């Protein structure tokens, strides 16, 4: 293998390149991006960055010297236009770039509101890139009323940042409750209560009918007929995997770029990693949108490019910072039939354990990092402590790791 091309200069693509060098790969590595920036970390964009002006250097994964020292050719302003799987080349602007192995780490794109709702008004933002975060942070400096559309991680983190910047904040969620796809009802209750204490107006089961204003957005009409003030609108209604490049090259897709257990696509020698990749997990096709997935999948791809034939079997983990709460989650809860609640050592700490029968599926932890470490280890090793032991505060959770 003499030449590895990586399309996508985010965390997943960076992780492939970094791990290849750690595994003593000596061939060429070329990392293609289209944002014109060094690879950077995205989670800070919706967390700490919006509390003040966004500093690009703070999110950068490695300085430029890292890429030079590791002989990783970084082309951050070079969008890839097509893939010729027969000739094994990438189509660039005025150039065909040959590869021996190709990694697609193309990420995802935020879903947008319909044009009929936006009506061409200024002041409506999505959040995915550093440039997006910079625009939103600047808008927070002059806005008075923020409307957040979507009650997932991104929406709630942005709502918290806006409230801490002194804006009046309304968050609407079209589903029955916030965090509907990613956390259980008791966790949603705790997060909702925290936002309420900080003055955030959360409205669930309510959609957006129209934005109002002349040139700049000034307000919104909600699906229940209510009118709310809004001179800044942030949309966080999910993301769609970037599969256009893969589909045009004839690769199999299904809510992402389909890969086998080793992260190889339907075309030998072409791999996928990160938000764009859909992989087999627990007898179904899964796509994980997380930092952990980007890093770990990228590292598995690198190992398999080096011939290790290593299957990707991740443990899903996520985290979210909102106000003074740190929410950490491990595992996936669909299919649970019982929730065991364990109070923490402090009044603002608690964990919720999701079981299917006697099998532990996942855990949501608020403000208890030590409990998260134990829970993650339990999930990783497939251990399921009896629910009664979890509920019993006299039981030291560390003991459960040895049982």
Domain termination residue (choose one: 235, 263, 285): 235
Q: Are both 213 and 255 inside the same structural domain?
A: no
Cβ 154 vs Cβ 179: under 8 Å = no
Work out the number of other CB atoms within 10 angstroms of the CB of residue 244: 11
From first to last of its 403 residues, the chain has per-residue pLDDT tens of 699 999 999 999 999 999 999 999 999 999 999 999 999 988 878 876 687 655 655 678 999 999 999 999 999 999 999 999 999 999 999 899 999 999 999 999 999 999 999 999 999 999 999 889 989 999 999 999 999 999 999 999 999 999 999 999 999 999 999 999 889 999 999 999 999 999 999 999 999 999 999 999 999 999 999 999 999 999 999 999 999 999 999 999 999 999 999 999 999 999 999 999 999 998 899 999 999 999 999 999 999 999 999 999 999 999 999 999 999 999 999 899 999 999 988 888 999 999 999 999 999 999 999 999 999 999 999 999 999 999 999 999 999 988 7
User: In the chain, how many domains are there?
Assistant: 3
Q: Are both 49 and 116 inside the same structural domain?
A: no
pLDDT of residue 55: 60
Q: Are both 373 and 350 inside the same structural domain?
A: yes
Report the CATH number at residue 125. 3.50.50.60
Q: Are both 93 and 7 inside the same structural domain?
A: yes
Would 312 be classed as within a structural domain? no
pTM, full prediction: 0.93
For residue 217, give the nearest of 156, 139, 141 by alpha carbon: 139
pLDDT of residue 58: 66
Would 294 be classed as within a structural domain? yes
| Structural domain span for residue 139 | 112-235
For residue 150, give the nearest of 206, 212, 228, 217 by alpha carbon: 206
Q: Are both 253 and 391 inside the same structural domain?
A: no
Q: Can you spell out the DSSP letters for 161-209?
A: HHHHTT-EEEEEESSSSTTTTTS-HHHHHHHHHHHHHTT-EEEES--EE
Measured distance CA(248)–CA(156) in Å, rounded:
35
Would 310 be classed as within a structural domain? no
CB neighbours of 130 closer than 8 A, spacing ≥ 6? 35, 37, 40, 45, 54, 56, 59
Tokens 């985010």 label which residue? 10
For residue 59, give the nearest of 21, 18, 94, 9 by alpha carbon: 9
Q: Are both 121 and 214 inside the same structural domain?
A: yes
Would 14 be classed as within a structural domain? yes
Phi, psi of 68 (to 5 degrees): -65, -45
For residue 271, give the nearest of 56, 397, 114, 105 by alpha carbon: 105
Tokens 């997935």 label which residue? 293
Report the CATH number at residue 362. 3.30.390.30
pLDDT of residue 173: 98
């Amino acid at each position: 293998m003499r030449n590895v091309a990586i399309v996508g200069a985010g965390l997943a693509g960076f992780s492939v390149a970094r791990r290849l060098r750690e595994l003593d790969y000596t061939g060429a590595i070329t990392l293609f991006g289209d944002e014109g920036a060094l690879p950077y970390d995205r989670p800070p964009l919706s967390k700490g960055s919006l509390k003040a002006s966004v500093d690009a250097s703070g999110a950068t994964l490695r300085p430029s010297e890292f890429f030079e020292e590791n002989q990783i050719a970084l082309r951050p302003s070079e969008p890839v236009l097509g893939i010729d799987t027969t000739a094994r080349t990438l189509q660039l602007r005025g150039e065909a770039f040959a590869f021996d192995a190709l990694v697609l780490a193309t990420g995802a794109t935020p879903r947008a509101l319909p044009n009929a709702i936006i009506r061409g008004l200024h002041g409506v933002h999505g959040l995915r890139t550093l440039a997006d975060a910079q625009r939103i942070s600047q808008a927070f400096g002059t806005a008075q009323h923020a409307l957040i559309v979507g009650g997932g991680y991104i929406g709630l983190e942005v709502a918290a940042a806006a409230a801490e910047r002194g804006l009046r904040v309304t968050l609407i969620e079209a589903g029955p409750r916030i965090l509907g796809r990613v956390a259980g009802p008791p966790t949603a209750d705790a997060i909702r209560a925290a936002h309420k204490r900080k003055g955030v107006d959360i409205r669930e089961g309510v959609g957006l009918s129209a934005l109002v204003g002349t040139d700049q957005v000034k307000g919104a009409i909600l699906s229940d007929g209510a009118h709310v003030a809004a001179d800044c609108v942030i949309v966080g209604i999910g993301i769609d995997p970037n599969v256009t490049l893969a589909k045009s090259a004839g690769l199999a897709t299904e809510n992402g770029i389909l890969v086998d257990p080793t992260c190889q696509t339907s075309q030998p020698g072409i791999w996928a990693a990160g938000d764009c990749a859909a992989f087999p997990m627990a007898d179904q096709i899964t796509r994980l949108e997380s930092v952990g997935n980007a890093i770990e999948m990228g590292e598995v791809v690198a190992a398999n490019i080096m011939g290790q034939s290593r299957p990707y079997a991740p443990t899903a983990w996520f985290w979210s910072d909102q106000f003074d709460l740190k929410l950490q989650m491990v595992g996936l809860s669909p299919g649970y039939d019982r929730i065991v609640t364990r109070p923490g050592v402090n009044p603002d700490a608690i964990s919720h354990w999701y079981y299917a029968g006697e099998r532990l599926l996942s855990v949501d932890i608020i403000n208890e990092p030590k409990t998260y470490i134990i829970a993650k280890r339990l999930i990783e090793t497939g251990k399921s402590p009896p629910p009664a032991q979890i509920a019993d505060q006299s039981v030291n959770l560390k003991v459960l790791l040895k049982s």
